[in-house]
Structure 1
Amino acid sequence: MTIAELQTLLRAEMLCATQEENLNIQVAKASDLMSDVLAYTGPGELLLTGLTNHQVVRTCEIANVRVIIFVRGKKPADETVSLAARCNICLLATKLSMFESCGILFSHGIRGVSRTSETR
Structure 2
Amino acid sequence: MLLTQIKEILDAQVIAGKGDMNQVVDFGYGCDLMSDVLAYVQNNIVLLTGLVHPQVIRTAEMLDIKAIVIVRGKEPGSDLIEMANRRDIVIMTTKHSLFTASGLLFKNGLIGEEIAHNELTF
Residue type of the partner of 1:91?
I
Report 1:88-103 matches (<5 A).
88-103=88-103
Take 2:114 and 2:101, find their aligned partners in 1: how far apart are those partners?
A: 18
SS at match of 1:39: helix
Q: Do the aligned partners of 1:45 and 1:67 also contact (CA within 8 Å) in 2?
A: yes
Q: TM-score, normalised by structure 2?
A: 0.91
1:84 equivalenced with 2:84 (yes/no): yes
Q: Do the aligned partners of 1:40 and 1:113 also contact (CA within 8 Å) in 2?
A: no
1:81-102 deviations in Å (ceiling 9; x for gaps): 0000111110000000111101
> Where does the alignment leave 5 or more consecutive residues of structure 2 unmatched?
none
Q: Give me the identity figure in percent.
A: 34
> Where does the alignment leave 5 or more consecutive residues of structure 1 unmatched?
none
Cα distance change, pair 111–76 in 1 and its aligned pair in 2 (3 A) = same
1:106 equivalenced with 2:106 (yes/no): yes
Q: TM-score, normalised by structure 1?
A: 0.92
Q: Do the aligned partners of 1:50 and 1:74 also contact (CA within 8 Å) in 2?
A: yes
Cα-Cα RMSD: 1.5
Report 1:59-70 matches (<5 A).
59-70=59-70
Residue type of the partner of 1:87?
R
- Measured after TM superposition, the shift of residue 22 of structure 1 is 3.9
1:41 is aligned to 41
Take 1:50 and 1:60, find their aligned partners in 2: how far apart are those partners?
A: 14
1:11-64 deviations in Å (ceiling 9; x for gaps): 001011255454111201000000111112233211000000110010011011
